[in-house]
Amino acid sequence: LDGLKAEKADVDAQYTELYNNTYLVDTTTVRPKSNLASSYSSYVTMHNNVVAEIEGMLQMTQISSTHKNMYSIKLENCINAYQVFKRYAAIAIDSIAQRKDDLLYNDAKTYTDAKIKVESDRITSTVSSVTQLGNQVSNMQSTVTILAGEISSKVDVNGVSSIIQQNAESVRIAF
């Protein structure tokens, strides 16, 4: 009986934590919060049935086979309800994590700028991008310069660069 009560306390705590999590929401296609609540309610009912059966049997001087059978059925129902609750709790945890990821991704801000500069002896194209995701900022820039006898390109991501310079006689690659 103490084991059942301890298990119930653990389920209550997990349910409360998950159900009250602001990231756990039902959508039109997925209902993790409603499923969690429904499975919890079923588990509580089945748990209470088992506890009541045990408490009733403790009051008896002799336990009949009918009571033993009723206890077995109620215990099996409780175990099944517990397993269903655990499955929906796992789905709720996944749903919370996915929603956090979705919101974080949607909060990302990206600023991109592209320029092409044409001069008498060269053409230079540059694409720059700054992405802010929470407290992290990512800077990226790619530049291609075309001269009559040479092509060079540079890619820089957060200060890490690679450069390729090519002319008719050689190709130079640098990191």
Question: Looking at residue 70, what is its pLDDT?
Answer: 92
Q: How many helices (H) and strands (E) does the chain have?
A: 3, 6
Convert 47-64 to b/e letters by CB count within 10 Å (16 or more is b). Answer: bebbbebeeeeeeeeeee
Question: Looking at residue 42, what is its pLDDT?
Answer: 96
What does each of the 175 residues of the chain score in pLDDT, given as a tens digit? 888 889 999 999 999 999 999 989 988 788 999 999 999 999 999 999 999 999 988 888 888 899 899 999 999 999 999 999 999 999 999 999 888 877 766 666 778 888 998 988 999 999 988 887 666 788 899 999 999 999 999 999 988 999 999 999 999 999 8
Helices of type H across 20-169: 32-58, 65-107
Identify the residue whose tokens are 């109620």: 74
- The region, left, alpha or beta by phi > 0 then psi within -120 to 50, assigned to residue 139 is beta
pTM: 0.59
Question: Looking at residue 108, what is its pLDDT?
Answer: 64
